[in-house]
């Protein structure tokens, strides 16, 4: 009898694990981060079509975050910024003019930074970079690289670090 109960418990745990992982706030938020970084890289390369494509993926990722998986404080933060993230993602995904995309990327970057600072769910270190030429911020996985506003290498400085929250 004990073996049967143990087997049932094991099978239930095994079957439910993918569902729990799928609804994890970590997964949704880190998908948003990955898609945001893809948009950033496309803009850094001056590729409006690629930025448009990645912004569509970002918009889908933002919409897929399940607020029910967040704590009450996280949910409040997420719900206050989600419409703003959707707005800028949508606008970047509707045009391929890099200049216009970069305008929306400014507020997208500021809002995503505020969300991530409040949620503390990023699984990798992120750097908030300040573009000294353009006077705007963006997020990056590295301390150096090409900025999305000017497309120049190493013209930004680290303004803040969001530590990995594993």
- For the segment 7-37, what is each residue's pLDDT rounded down to a tens digit? 454 444 434 333 334 457 788 999 999 999 9
Asked if 153 and 106 count as a contact pair (C-beta separation under 8 A), the reply is: no
Mean pLDDT of the chain: 88
State CA 28 to chain mean position distance.
9
Q: At what angle do helices 25-44 and 48-64 cross, to 10 degrees?
A: 170
Residue ranges per structural domain of the chain: 24-162
Sheet holding 126-131, edge to edge: 136-140, 126-131, 156-162
CA 50, 53, 142, 127 dihedral sign is positive
Q: What is the DSSP code string of 10-25? A: HHHHHHHHHHHHHT-H
Each residue's pLDDT tens digit, 49-68 = 999 999 999 999 999 999 99
CA distance 42 to 25: 26
CA distance 124 to 37: 12
Average pLDDT (37-43) is: 98
| pTM: predicted TM-score of the whole model, two decimal places | 0.85
The string over 113-148, giving b where at least 16 C-beta atoms fall within 10 Å of a residue's C-beta and e elsewhere, is bebbeebebbeeebbbbbbeebebbbbbeeeebbbb
Each residue's pLDDT tens digit, 111-122 = 999 999 999 999
């Amino acid at each position: 009898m004990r073996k049967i109960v143990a087997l049932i418990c094991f099978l239930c745990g095994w079957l439910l694990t993918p569902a729990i992982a799928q609804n994890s706030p970590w997964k949704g938020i880190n998908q948003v981060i990955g898609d945001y970084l893809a948009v950033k890289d496309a803009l850094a390369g001056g590729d409006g079509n690629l930025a448009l494509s990645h912004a569509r993926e970002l918009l889908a990722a933002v919409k897929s975050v399940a607020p029910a998986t967040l704590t009450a404080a996280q949910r409040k933060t997420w719900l206050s910024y989600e419409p703003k993230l959707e707005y800028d993602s949508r606008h970047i995904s509707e045009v391929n003019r890099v200049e216009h995309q970069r305008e929306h990327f400014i507020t997208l970057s500021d809002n995503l930074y505020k969300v991530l600072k409040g949620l503390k769910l990023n699984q990798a270190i992120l750097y908030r970079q300040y573009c000294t030429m353009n006077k705007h911020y963006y997020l990056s996985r590295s301390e150096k690289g090409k900025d999305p506003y000017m497309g120049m290498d190493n013209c930004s400085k680290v303004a803040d670090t969001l530590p990995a929250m594993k």
